[in-house]
Amino acid sequence: MENKKTVLVTGGSGFIASYCMIALLNNGYKVKASLRSLKKAELVKQMLKEGGITNLDDLSFVEAELSNEASWANAAQGCQYVIHTASPTPNTDAKTIDDFVKPAVDGVLFVMKAAKKAGVKRVVLTSAFGAVGMGTNKKTPYTEDDWTELNDSVAPYQRSKTISEKAAWDFINSEGKGMELSVVNPTGVLGPVLSNDFSHSIQTIKQMLDGEMRSCPKLIFGYVDVRDVADLHFKAMTMPEANGQRFIAVAGQSLSFLDTASILRENLGGKAAKVPTKEIPNWLIRLLAIFNPKLKMITPLLGSVKHASNEKAKKLLGWKPRSNKEAILATANSLIDLKIVNV
């Protein structure tokens, strides 16, 4: 039996991270998960069990903090690969752009430097579609050749993702010296939730199901199932063709919030009783945003249509994502099964 390779997965309690760990453990890798506090280790084990992992012998935990450079040397020790999903969660105290950008850039560079020192073969960075398609409006689908243009319409989180991804490529080009990098840029991440801790896009489905979203804002986005995001990370880590490439993770055609609501209503019967049936005009959202910070975040995106292409991942890596419909319904059913929404 050959020695199992060890993968450091940063931000181990996150939604994408937990599915990456499930994919790695199912494929015979050892996983070292970094957590800001080891108190979260039990929650992570629960999530992995919920995701079907019965044997946790190949899982270990290490405490590491994105703002603490010294903590990463120990984390990367003995690892052949790193999947860097951790991203500083913008805290509500973040006042300036730097409060978002600096922690994201520092975090990426601390992990890359530690990986280089530890002799890691390849780092897979979880970036975001926010580093690809913001600040511009294209009629044709966005591809991996596109980069977000950092103008005033770009939200701080997307700005941080763009600048930190560029920092990772710069590091590889100037100091990588043979260490490899692949990047995954997910669109809105859906899929079966494993706990109360889940992505921003799932919040949308939750708000539709529990009646908190009475009408749909006019927003059109790409979605992808978290299981396919994890599969793309795995392929980006293991396949020679993925070295030096970035990959957009998107299921297919972008959907409006109203399309998403219709899929829920058509397939969930009575459980979708509170799901909205109409759209809210843009002018009304702009007015309400004056009083509601959640709405303020989406106002720059009103009226924009973001289509993204998944051709590169499909052609180069043989990636086969689930459909939007499957991702949306898996999300909804898991929220209902875990009693996170009352329908």
Secondary structure element (H or E) that encloses residue 9, with its range: strand 6-10
Distances (CA, A) of 187 to 222, 240, 252, 307, 313: 6, 24, 10, 10, 14
Backbone region of residue 201 per phi and psi (left: phi > 0; alpha: psi in -120 to 50; beta: other values): alpha
State both tokens at 20.
């990456």
Q: 134-159: string of b/e by CB count within 10 Å (b at 16+)?
A: bbbeeeebbbbebbbebeebbbbbbb
Distances in Å between the Cα of 298 and the Cα atoms of 103, 126, 175, 219 are 23, 22, 38, 8
- Which positions ≥6 away from 236 have C-beta within 8 Å? 124, 182, 183, 184, 242, 245, 247, 317
What span, in angstroms and rounded, lies between the C-alpha atoms of 65 and 97? 20
List the structure tokens of 252. 């297919």
Query: CA-to-CA distance for 172 and 112, rounded, in angstroms?
Result: 8
Catalytic residue among 30, 116, 161, 306: 161
Q: Is 161 a catalytic residue?
A: yes
As to burial, measured by CB atoms within 10 angstroms (0-12 exposed, 13-18 middle, 19+ buried), residue 279 is middle
Give the residue numbers annotated as catalytic, written as ranges.
Answer: 161
